[in-house]
Amino acid sequence: MPKSDISYYTSKLGQMKSVRNNYDSYWQEVADYTLPKRDFTVQRSEAQKRMIAVYDSTAIHATEQLASGLHGMLTPPTSKWFFLKAGVVETDSARQWLDGATNYLSTVFSSPESSFATSVFELYLDVVAFGNAAMSVTFGNRKINFQTKKLSSCYICENDDGEVDTLYIVEKMSPANMIRKFGIENVDDKVIKAYDGNQDIKFEVLHAIEPRKINKGRGAAKELKPYKSCFIDLDNKKEMLEDGFDDFPFLFPRWSKRSGETYGYGAGMVALAEVKELNKISEIMTRAASKNVDPPLLAPAEGLVLPLRLDPSGINFYNPDLGEPKFWQNGFQPNYFEGVLEYKRQLINKMYYIDWMNLPQIDRQTTVEVMQRAQEGQRMMSPMLSRLQSEFLSKLIKRTLMLALDNGLIPKPPQELQGQDVSIEYTSPMSIAQRATSAQNVMQGLTVMANLAQFDQSIANVVNAKAIAKDQVLNTYAWPIMYIHTDEEIAAMEQQQQEQMAMARQAELAESYSKSAGNAAGAMKDLQGG
């Protein structure tokens, strides 16, 4: 690779770093109080203490609780949370393929070998705390792999549509890992020397993924694929590997995002001011309580013969003419502080939507009250959940599906699905809850209609029960395609039912005619006999 290309990557990396520098100090503060395992402007070892300055863990617990809630309500590991649909008329072969593809993808997401469950929880933690997260979806060792990247290592750019299509990742790599990954023939001599000398050093490596200006589309050679992937040894200014992807191999969801800005904002960033204030109050309360239990002493000058002994059973000798030591009265009132602390904790939990997340455990409330709170929580979280769905879930499923197809893990779709877009129907608890709000309004309307029909039975003719069943019941609770009859099957069954009803009416008429004829014959016989 010419040096001009290396200069291009280093120059672009510098520009991307300058943009993200505005966030790094912000994210570091958030990390200190809500997610101490993360580092941005501070570099600490893995075993180094990270919670020295934390006096209240409310925000830490809230971050983990919201991340766990998203995990269980969006991508539950123990149940199927989506299925694939086609926009065309689905034949038996199409439905079988869609069901098979759905089952395979669900198996991948729930398999421990793919590490999706653990990786996605780390992603939710980053999204909740910092508003941004990065996950790779790649194929290797004959399986699909998922890995959440350190946010501190990631730098992004958007396209004109506001989608992340460029990702630069800067990581430290050991000489052994570099040789293993790129081959000894592709690394710099300094890397080989460090490896041979068993030196405990690491080199800075850039992984740049960005769209190619000129490409041949999906299925082309790696140097002509839509996305370019390049690994560069930044310390030695050397390209080690160039590759390509048919699709953008990373997912970069954002919690919420301001217009004109590249990076997102998380709940941890929104609540940071309250979290810091709560921590400060807790610190003051802790210090005040400590002084109250073990207060400082007031002693007259030169009144003590020996140094003070503050341990239990300690004996101190003093000059009685100068007075004895006295305790300092600090006026500490814990009740006041407890009220302030509780208010701050409730406010922080509200910012993390913890009250809404805990709705299933709420008792001593009517169904109407719980439903109102659920609807309020859904409205408040709807913008964030919609962004997670578009920037993460949809891209995750489509990327995994394409990898499975490209690597022969699932069969090719039937002819009628070739070139057709496959849509996604979400069946997660969160999706069902969102649709259930609309369904409940319809059901309440049906109750009113049923009451009115008691006075006028023709009102029942206004309601299209079949449409309600399909749109509000089947779609709300996301029944799999295999459970639902097609329109053609429904029409055939209705025609059969009509034919059976017609035959039954004919039989009934024939029986009635036979009885009438028999009665008439009997009457005539009676008349003749008479």
How much is the pLDDT for 171? 96
Q: Rounded to 5 degrees, what are φ and ψ at 239?
A: -80, 135
Q: Strands of 134-140's sheet, edge to edge? A: 143-149, 134-140, 250-251
DSSP lists the bridge partners of residue 132 as 254
How much is the pLDDT for 381? 84
Three-state secondary structure string covering 189-207: HHHHHHHHCCCCCCEEEEE
Check: CB of residue 212 under 8 Å from CB of residue 244.
yes
- Token representation of residue 466: 């079949």
Q: Return d(Cα 246, Cα 211) in angstroms, integer.
A: 10
Name the strand (E) or helix (H) holding 385.
helix 367-388
Check: CB of residue 328 under 8 Å from CB of residue 297.
yes
How much is the pLDDT for 418? 83
How much is the pLDDT for 255? 96
Name the strand (E) or helix (H) holding 51.
none
* Cα 82 versus chain centre, distance: 14
Q: What is the full per-residue pLDDT of the chain (530 aa) written as tens digits? A: 444 489 999 999 999 999 999 899 999 999 999 998 888 988 877 666 667 788 999 999 999 999 999 998 899 988 889 989 887 666 778 888 999 999 999 999 999 888 999 999 999 999 999 999 999 999 988 899 999 999 999 999 999 999 999 999 999 999 999 999 999 999 999 999 999 998 889 999 999 999 998 887 887 888 889 999 999 999 999 999 999 999 999 999 999 999 889 999 999 999 999 999 999 999 888 887 777 777 776 667 666 666 777 776 667 676 777 777 776 666 666 677 788 899 999 999 999 998 777 654 444 445 555 556 656 667 788 889 999 999 999 999 999 999 999 999 999 999 888 878 888 988 887 777 666 666 666 766 667 777 777 777 777 677 776 666 666 555 555 555 556 666 677 777 778 888 788 888 887 777 776 766 666 566 566 656 65
How much is the pLDDT for 439? 62
**Residue bearing tokens 């006096």:** 55
Q: Return d(Cα 33, Cα 349) in angstroms, integer.
A: 14
Q: What is the DSSP string of 16-58?
A: HHHHHHHHHHHHHHHHHHH-TT--SS----TTS---TT-S--H
DSSP 226: S
How much is the pLDDT for 125? 97
DSSP 348: H
Question: Pairing state of beta strands 238-245 and 82-86?
Answer: unpaired
Q: Say what the pTM is.
A: 0.81
Check: CB of residue 157 under 8 Å from CB of residue 291.
no
Query: What's the Cα-to-Cα distance from 287 to each of 214, 247, 334, 337, rounded to whole Å?
Result: 64, 55, 12, 12
Q: Return d(Cα 48, Cα 45) in angstroms, integer.
A: 5
How much is the pLDDT for 203? 97
Q: State whether residue 21 is helix, strand or coil.
A: helix
